[in-house]
């Protein structure tokens, strides 16, 4: 049913937009509207330090306004607003290029799953701490032997009466060396087939027996870690959902991760070059037109793809409001991350040798960032389910093609 939005509702939204704009204008410090580096990102947590006094001010103002998580219920510290209102806040923040005040896997991934599957005391314990930036979370899904075939994971949690005893290791745990807690998939029934014997467990990383090692990547960064569990005792009340039913929690959470990744392009903290803008700076032009026919063709292909992706994000939002189901959300991770890779290759081609600088003199910040982002973009079609896994999901769930 696609009832038109009522006029009074529209008026209320417009009123809200104007108030949000005014509030942001008055409360977002000028320094928090500038392009940022990774060092400017505030992730919160027990040992966190604010990158700057303005970053602290900005975070605290948004937190006190209830806009860190505008859609979450007020009883856990959320803003209690509708999806339309939350979208308006997002749009208005984007319009003034406001920095994200709190980067958090707790907000983007764990929180929505906790709200759906957690019991009351789990929500009380964890949700406000996520919103207030008190606890920094990381994710423990993949293992060295379990990548795309996640359900083959071996990290085990044995029932010891009043607690689980966890042994094994997790890989690609983003920011594990700086995180306070980890949400994990663990095997609780070694005899059950694949996903049936898996549970969803929250683990305090201060517990004895946990250690982390950073992994250096081709981008030169090491935001990922391997995390080891050696006889870690985890209280029973840290189990989310039913025992051996962790897969359904993980799947719900993956949906959030993929949605996030499909939108990542617009969220990146670096000074990102826009290909069509970079083209005017780095390419030979004739009467305003890019002379290199191949690059001009690649550029317009990319711009058209992004235009179409942007419109499809709008469509999925309108469909959500109208209660219409379509296949669009399920394809967004695939098209979004592939487009990000295309963009990075395009920027590298546009910058030529000036886009190949690794560090130091001879290159400006944007040029150096372009190369690092190019290297990082290779991970986008791998993390959160590879493009090939996304295509499998589309073939199975949308097209309902027979499974071999």
Partner 1 sequence: MALVLNEEQRFLQDSAREFLAANAPVESLRTLRDDRDALGYCPETWQKMAELGWASIILPEEYGGLDFGFTGLGVVMEEAGRTLTASPLFASAVVGASALLLGGSEQQKTDLLPRIAAGELTLALALEESQHHRPTHITTTAQANGDSFVINGRKTFVIDGHSADHLLVVARSSGESRSPQGLSLFLVPREAPGVSVQRTIMADSRNAANITLEGVEVNAGALVGTLENGWEVLEPVLDRGRVALAAEMMGLALEAFERTVEYLKEREQFGVLIGSFQALQHRAAHMQAQLELCRSVVLQALSTVDDAPEQLPLLASLAKAKLNKLVKLVTNEAVQMHGGIGVTDEFEIGFFLKRARVAMQIFGDTGFHKDRYATLCGY
List residues binding partner 1 (CB under 8 A). Answer: 1-2, 4-5, 276, 279-280, 285, 288-290, 296-297, 299-301, 303-305, 307-309, 311-312, 314-315, 318-319, 321-322, 324, 326-328, 331, 334-335, 388, 390-392, 394-395, 398-404
CB of 32 to partner 1, least distance (A): 30
Rounded-to-integer distance, Cα 21 and Cα 352, Å: 40
Cα–Cα separations (whole angstroms), residue 33 to 139, 225, 352: 29, 31, 30
Strand duo 289-290 + 285-286: pairing: antiparallel
Rounded-to-integer distance, Cα 16 and Cα 186, Å: 44
CB of 84 to partner 1, least distance (A): 12
For residues 155 and 273, which CB has a smaller minimum distance to partner 1 in the complex? 273
CB of 293 to partner 1, least distance (A): 10
Tokens, residue 338: 């592939």
Q: Give yes or no for a contact between 221 and 267, defined as CB atoms under 8 angstroms apart.
A: no
For residues 192 and 398, which CB has a smaller minimum distance to partner 1 in the complex? 398
Tokens, residue 219: 């981008």
Alpha-carbon dihedral sign for residues 115, 118, 121, 127: negative
For residues 96 and 277, which CB has a smaller minimum distance to partner 1 in the complex? 277
For residues 221 and 338, which CB has a smaller minimum distance to partner 1 in the complex? 338
For residues 132 and 392, which CB has a smaller minimum distance to partner 1 in the complex? 392
Rounded-to-integer distance, Cα 70 and Cα 25, Å: 18
For residues 218 and 327, which CB has a smaller minimum distance to partner 1 in the complex? 327
CB of 314 to partner 1, least distance (A): 6
CB of 326 to partner 1, least distance (A): 7
Tokens, residue 317: 């939002």
Rounded-to-integer distance, Cα 253 and Cα 351, Å: 38
The DSSP secondary-structure symbol of 286 reads E
For residues 40 and 263, which CB has a smaller minimum distance to partner 1 in the complex? 263
CB of 191 to partner 1, least distance (A): 29
CB of 378 to partner 1, least distance (A): 19
CB of 219 to partner 1, least distance (A): 27
For residues 129 and 306, which CB has a smaller minimum distance to partner 1 in the complex? 306
Query: Which among 146, 195, 191, 149 has a CA at the least distance from the CA of 168?
Result: 146
| Range list of β-strands (E), 123-268 | 137-140, 156-159, 163-174, 181-187, 198-204, 210-215, 224-235, 239-240
The DSSP secondary-structure symbol of 92 reads H
């Amino acid at each position: 049913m696609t009832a038109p939005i009522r006029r009074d509702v529209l008026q209320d939204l417009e009123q809200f937009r104007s108030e949000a704009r005014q509030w942001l204008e008055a409360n977002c410090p000028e320094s928090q509207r500038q392009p940022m580096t990774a060092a400017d990102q505030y992730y919160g947590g027990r040992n966190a330090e604010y990158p700057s006094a303005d970053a602290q001010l900005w975070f605290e103002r948004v937190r006190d306004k209830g806009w860190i998580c505008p859609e979450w219920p007020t009883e856990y510290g959320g803003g209690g607003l509708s999806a339309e209102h939350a979208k308006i806040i997002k749009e208005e923040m984007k319009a003034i290029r406001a920095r994200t005040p709190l980067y958090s896997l707790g907000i983007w991934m764990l929180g929505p799953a906790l709200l759906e599957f957690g019991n009351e005391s789990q929500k009380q314990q964890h949700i406000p701490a996520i919103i207030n930036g008190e606890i920094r979370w990381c994710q423990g899904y993949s293992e060295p032997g379990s990548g795309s075939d996640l359900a083959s994971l071996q990290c085990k949690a044995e029932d010891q009466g009043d607690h689980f005893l966890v042994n094994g290791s997790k890989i690609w745990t983003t920011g594990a060396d700086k995180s306070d807690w980890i949400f994990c998939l663990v095997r609780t029934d070694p005899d059950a087939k694949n996903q049936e014997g898996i549970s969803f467990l929250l683990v305090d990383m201060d517990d004895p027996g946990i250690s982390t090692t950073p992994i250096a990547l081709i981008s030169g960064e090491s935001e990922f870690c391997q995390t080891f569990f050696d006889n870690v005792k985890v209280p029973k009340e840290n189990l989310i959902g039913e025992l051996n039913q962790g897969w359904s929690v993980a799947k719900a959470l993956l949906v959030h991760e993929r949605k996030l990744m499909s939108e990542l392009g617009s969220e990146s903290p670096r000074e990102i070059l826009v290909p069509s803008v970079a083209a005017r700076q780095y390419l030979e032009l004739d009467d305003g037109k890019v002379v290199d026919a191949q690059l001009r063709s690649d550029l317009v292909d990319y711009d058209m793809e992004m235009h179409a992706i942007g419109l499809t994000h709008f469509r999925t939002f309108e469909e959500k409001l109208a209660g219409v189901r379509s296949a669009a959300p399920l394809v967004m991770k695939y098209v979004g991350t592939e487009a990000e890779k295309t963009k990075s290759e395009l920027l590298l081609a546009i910058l030529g040798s000036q886009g190949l600088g690794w560090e130091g003199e001879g290159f400006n910040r944007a040029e150096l960032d372009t190369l690092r982002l190019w290297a990082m973009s290779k991970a986008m079609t791998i993390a959160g389910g590879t493009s090939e896994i996304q295509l499998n999901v589309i073939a199975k769930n949308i097209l309902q093609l027979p499974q071999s």
